[in-house]
Chain A
């Protein structure tokens, strides 16, 4: 049985985001890892259902990163955000995508440089959307965006605190953000036109308004892969639970 209760209460969560070709998790019989479906009693059945769940992992958070420059602003060490996991194994920053379900484009994805970290670490962006960059730090940051094929989308300097600079993001795919002046900084833009969510700090996610149907939910994480493919069946007006384990 999965970790999520079957009370029909969606866990908090989840913003959006998406991904490309990561591992596929199915609802298969991989025991403890996945799934459970259940119906939510509803007065009037509405079109589309909801997928909720929690992402967990046995992987541990890496040791802190040693700061090599600007310790007065960045501190002596910083957490390595490549695996953000709590004591219970809840994993943040996992993008879950519903293949084939397109959604309206959000206008802008904000990414902030704050104390020499990108926040949020992973953002969901729609093709032809924009990313809005700011820096809260008094040291020079840059936001270097490179597609998976190494194509550089831009490298924008952010020398003036709180100045907002927006740049367009064109194609679907995973865009990696780095900083030319702070080599440890990493961030990701998950560019997709499909319905997607990002697991929050408690590992939970929620995908709303999913048209009824059977889906192989795509799962992406910058360092881990899904332990097993997951298929989920969504029915109108119902909430399906999909728990995912990453390794």
Chain B
């Protein structure tokens, strides 16, 4: 009898060991058992026997691993690659795993980036119309603006904006504006080119991101034709981003100082944006409103943004800047943008 009991215990113990060796219970074990067969144990996507045709993203590449928000990763793991416009060879785990487990996977994936100091992609928030983002970006933007001031012909401008991330925390920016204005006769041509640099101050912060930037405006536009300011302007600014619940909050404070001009000629700009996504999957509509201030003039800019591709590589936005005070001087400005996040693959919506 005693032998029988001993044998039974041994059998039970062995069965438990086998079960434990076969069924992963922790997130790292699950990664090694399930994900690593395509993504590799080290997250590089390099495996001895590939079973998928599309090479998985290299998660040890910090720029790729850090720059998108958790929600995008959550969608990719829950709904599979097509949820974010990527390969259908990445399966959906939303039925097999809890959202809490998926969140743990995201933390594990981000951990494949071994270099500290990359700003968290959670603060890569939707671009507002006027408020500078705190997050350094790789984007190309076309931004049309149509200004309507009472008793004055409409002024129209079209700016081409190129933003290029440098290293972990910095971004270069070039703004090439074209304008069409009228003060009796209509003049159309190049406006004042703007060159800028931005730098993230708090890459390790988990609740917010703060950045400083410095723009220089070069008087390439004709002042006599009303296309330019006629002076070099220096424009230092501070920008910050955070998320409160499911609301995106972004702010910017900027001073515009003319070269050689008296301090009294400075302009003070202050912008605050609040917005939220109406949907995450399969496509994202984001609605928001900006509070825009320029010296004592303030305005509100309600706006809506929509991702045009599942990867988020292309997006379009539209809004209108409505004056709160000094209504006649400010007028109304219709504004929009078409954005291309050029490091992301562009895939058409199905």
Partner of B51 from A69, A158, A161 at Cβ < 8 Å: A69
Which B72-100 residues have C-beta < 8 A from chain A? 80-82, 88-93, 95-97
Closest to B22 in A: A138
Contact between A154 and B92, CB atoms less than 8 A apart: yes
Does residue B33 face the partner (Cβ distance < 8 Å to A)? Answer: yes
The total of chain A residues at the interface (CB under 8 A) is 25
With A138-B23, A157-B34, A159-B34: A180-B91 Cβ-Cβ less than 8 Å:
yes
Closest to B350 in A: A151
Contact between B89 and A180, CB atoms less than 8 A apart: yes
Q: Kindly state the separation between the CA atoms of A161 and B19 in the bound complex, as whole angstroms.
A: 11
Does residue A3 face the partner (Cβ distance < 8 Å to B)? Answer: no
B20 to chain A, nearest CB (A): 11
Does residue B49 face the partner (Cβ distance < 8 Å to A)? Answer: yes
Q: Looking at chain A's contact residues, is the secondary structure mostly helix, strand, loop, or mixed?
A: loop
With A163-B96, A180-B89: A140-B37 Cβ-Cβ less than 8 Å:
yes
When distances are taken between beta carbons in the complex, the residues of chain A under 8 Å from B96 are 157-160, 163, 165
Q: Kindly state the separation between the CA atoms of A151 and B88 in the bound complex, as whole angstroms.
A: 10
Which B177-194 residues have C-beta < 8 A from chain A? none
Does residue B30 face the partner (Cβ distance < 8 Å to A)? Answer: yes
Does residue A214 face the partner (Cβ distance < 8 Å to B)? Answer: no
Does residue A224 face the partner (Cβ distance < 8 Å to B)? Answer: no
Contact between A181 and B95, CB atoms less than 8 A apart: no
A107 to chain B, nearest CB (A): 18
A57 to chain B, nearest CB (A): 31
Contact between B80 and A181, CB atoms less than 8 A apart: no
Q: Looking at chain B's contact residues, is the secondary structure mostly helix, strand, loop, or mixed?
A: loop
Contact between A155 and B80, CB atoms less than 8 A apart: yes
Q: Kindly state the separation between the CA atoms of A111 and B95 in the bound complex, as whole angstroms.
A: 16
Contact between A155 and B88, CB atoms less than 8 A apart: yes
With A181-B51, A183-B51: A140-B34 Cβ-Cβ less than 8 Å:
yes
With A138-B22, A152-B82: A157-B51 Cβ-Cβ less than 8 Å:
no
Q: Kindly state the separation between the CA atoms of A144 and B52 in the bound complex, as whole angstroms.
A: 12
Which B256-285 residues have C-beta < 8 A from chain A? none
0/1 string, B301-331, CB within 8 A of A gives 1: 0000000000000000000000000000000
Contact between A159 and B49, CB atoms less than 8 A apart: no
When distances are taken between beta carbons in the complex, the residues of chain A under 8 Å from B33 are 139-140, 159
Interface residues on B, range: 20 to 34
Closest to B30 in A: A159
Q: Tell me how many residue pairs across A and B have CB atoms closer than 8 Å.
A: 64
Contact between B91 and A155, CB atoms less than 8 A apart: yes
Contact between A180 and B51, CB atoms less than 8 A apart: yes
Which A125-143 residues have C-beta < 8 A from chain B? 138-140, 142-143
When distances are taken between beta carbons in the complex, the residues of chain A under 8 Å from B89 are 144, 155, 180
Contact between B51 and A156, CB atoms less than 8 A apart: no
0/1 string, B28-59, CB within 8 A of A gives 1: 00100110011000000000010110000000
Closest to B23 in A: A138
Q: Kindly state the separation between the CA atoms of A157 and B97 in the bound complex, as whole angstroms.
A: 10
Interface centre among B38, B88, B89 (most CB of A within 10 A): B88
Q: Kindly state the separation between the CA atoms of A152 and B80 in the bound complex, as whole angstroms.
A: 11
Does residue A68 face the partner (Cβ distance < 8 Å to B)? Answer: yes
Q: Kindly state the separation between the CA atoms of A171 and B222 in the bound complex, as whole angstroms.
A: 62
Q: Kindly state the separation between the CA atoms of A165 and B80 in the bound complex, as whole angstroms.
A: 15
Q: Kindly state the separation between the CA atoms of A51 and B239 in the bound complex, as whole angstroms.
A: 76
Does residue A182 face the partner (Cβ distance < 8 Å to B)? Answer: yes
B154 to chain A, nearest CB (A): 46
When distances are taken between beta carbons in the complex, the residues of chain B under 8 Å from A181 are 37-38, 51
With A69-B37, A152-B82, A155-B80: A142-B91 Cβ-Cβ less than 8 Å:
yes
Which A58-79 residues have C-beta < 8 A from chain B? 68-69
When distances are taken between beta carbons in the complex, the residues of chain B under 8 Å from A140 are 33-34, 37
Partner of A157 from B82, B88, B93, B350 at Cβ < 8 Å: B93
Contact between A156 and B91, CB atoms less than 8 A apart: yes
Q: Kindly state the separation between the CA atoms of A155 and B81 in the bound complex, as whole angstroms.
A: 9
Q: Kindly state the separation between the CA atoms of A69 and B52 in the bound complex, as whole angstroms.
A: 13
Closest to B35 in A: A140
A108 to chain B, nearest CB (A): 15
0/1 string, A61-105, CB within 8 A of B gives 1: 000000011000000000000000000000000000000000000
Contact between A156 and B37, CB atoms less than 8 A apart: no
When distances are taken between beta carbons in the complex, the residues of chain A under 8 Å from B90 are 155, 180
Q: Kindly state the separation between the CA atoms of A3 and B44 in the bound complex, as whole angstroms.
A: 58
Q: Kindly state the separation between the CA atoms of A234 and B30 in the bound complex, as whole angstroms.
A: 56
0/1 string, A37-68, CB within 8 A of B gives 1: 00000000000000000000000000000001
Could you list 30 examples of A-B contacts with CB < 8 Å? A68-B49, A69-B49, A140-B34, A140-B37, A144-B89, A146-B88, A151-B350, A152-B88, A154-B92, A155-B89, A155-B90, A155-B91, A155-B92, A156-B92, A156-B95, A157-B92, A157-B93, A157-B96, A158-B96, A159-B33, A159-B34, A159-B96, A160-B23, A161-B23, A165-B95, A180-B51, A180-B52, A180-B91, A181-B51, A182-B51
Query: Would you list the 5 A-B pairs with minimal beta carbon distance, nearest first?
Result: A157-B91, A142-B91, A152-B88, A138-B22, A155-B91
Given A155-B81, A155-B89, A181-B51, 13 other A-B residues pairs in contact with their CB atoms under 8 A: A69-B37, A69-B49, A143-B91, A146-B88, A151-B350, A156-B80, A157-B92, A159-B34, A159-B97, A165-B95, A180-B52, A180-B90, A181-B37
